[in-house]
Amino acid sequence: MAKKEALLTGTHFMNGDIACAEGAIAAGCSFFAGYPITPATEIAEHLSERMPEIGRIYIQMEDEIASIAAVIGASYAGLKAMTATSGPGFSLMQENIGLAVMTETPCVIVDIMRGGPSTGQPTMPGQQDVMQARWGSHGDYEIIALAPSSVQEMFDLTVEAFNLAETYRVPTLLLADEIVAHMWEKVVIPSAEKIRIVNRKKPNVSPEKYMPFMPDYDLVPPMACFGEGYRFHATGLTHDEYGYPKTSSSEVQERLVKRLCDKIRRNTDKIIRVEEIMLDDADIVVIAYGIVARAALSAVKKAREKGIKAGLLRTITLWPFPQNQIAKIEEHAKKIIVPEMNCGQMVREVERAAKSTLVVFLSKLGEEPHTPMEIFEAIRRNC
């Protein structure tokens, strides 16, 4: 009974959704629960075939609320778990993304952004969920979101999303757009020893001494799982280090919620990834992510050919937001251009971080992302 290979080491030509699914498998994801939605469905379809053949779990749930709930359950039962959706489903998941934050559940949520609001344009791209990703659930929290720009990154960043989720015990989002998800490109899947895999910290105390929400020095508590003999309680209510509800204590609320934020805030240097292209001497800097970053790169190259000192900052990590990297740009850049496929979301953060540098926003909605020429024209006009 030869099981199929889990890791498809080699060179492939695949689309972003499939690369994401294979990235999850490579990261050790053993549980996927989802609900069909364009343009994320191919992830579920692919995993419905792949997961059983390598002895892992795939289930289609009754809706996205159930999908994320099942993912949290599976994670607490010890498996690396993922769900994938798009805007409307992502909205439905927000309640339990809050639960995952509160119960410090390592899990990955893929949101393939399409045009909204509401049902919007199911088959068309968008970057309209950037703020929903950050603030979609109620209450204060910090979350991690990564934005891939290529099919290779759909693989690589899915692996990274699992590693971050397991390291910080936080739901981690892969915030991709429809174009990257449906685009076909070359993907190189490395051999197992070349893929960095992180697993959650386990407790090294006896069950009697285990406090499920007592953090280590890094503010992250080690995680026991159901069935391991620790017999612990977890709740979406405000809770103390034992996991017991403390719904009337201001002190516990303050301690818990601040720690949930601080475990990310104090580690931003380790979490944040950006790509800096020709930034050192740049007078004018384009800040972009996802598919738009590729048009921006083309535009910046063209500008350099024309003697304009342009550069590109590609925010691979959208949340926590790379403020320091933007503050650095401010030292030399005269203007910042932010093209986004929305009516202005990340640009607000850029404006906040840039303080005095003039920020120009380029909006685009609908089928096509900004063309390189459109961004180049904006560079030319503003240099």
228-287: which residues touch another protein (CB under 8 A)? 228-237, 242, 244-245
Which listed residue (40, 70, 92, 101) binds another protein by CB under 8 A?
70
368 binds another protein (CB under 8 A): yes
Site track 305-344 with another protein (rule: CB under 8 A), x = hit? ----------------------------------------
| Closer by beta carbon to another protein, 53 or else 216 | 53
| Closer by beta carbon to another protein, 291 or else 353 | 291
213 binds another protein (CB under 8 A): no
Distance between CA 373 and CA 380 in Å, rounded?
A: 10
**Integer Rg of the chain from CA:** 21
Q: What is the footprint of another protein within residues 9-28 (CB under 8 A)?
A: 11, 13
Place of tokens 């503050």: 327
Distance between CA 51 and CA 46 in Å, rounded?
A: 8
Cβ neighbour number for residue 360 with a 10 Å cutoff = 16
The least CB distance from residue 302 to another protein, in Å, is: 10
CA-CA-CA-CA torsion sign (7, 12, 14, 20):
positive
Which listed residue (46, 134, 182, 200) binds another protein by CB under 8 A?
182
Q: What is the footprint of another protein within residues 96-125 (CB under 8 A)?
A: 96, 98-99, 103, 122-124
Determine the size of the site formed for another protein (CB under 8 A).
75
367 binds another protein (CB under 8 A): yes
CA-CA-CA-CA torsion sign (48, 53, 58, 60):
positive
Asked whether 294 and 153 are in contact (CB, 8 A), the reply is no
Q: What is the footprint of another protein within residues 141-180 (CB under 8 A)?
A: 151, 179
Picking from 338, 364, 367, the residue whose alpha carbon sits closest to that of residue 351 is 338
| Closer by beta carbon to another protein, 218 or else 367 | 367
Q: Which residues contact 135 (CB under 8 A, 6 or more apart)?
A: none
Stretch that binds another protein, among 168-176, 225-233, 255-263, 267-275 (CB under 8 A): 225-233
Picking from 313, 320, 317, 274, the residue whose alpha carbon sits closest to that of residue 296 is 313
Place of tokens 């925010």: 315
Which listed residue (21, 31, 113, 170) binds another protein by CB under 8 A?
31
Distance between CA 164 and CA 167 in Å, rounded?
A: 5
135 binds another protein (CB under 8 A): no
The least CB distance from residue 370 to another protein, in Å, is: 9
**Phi/psi of residue 202, each to 5°?**
-105, 155
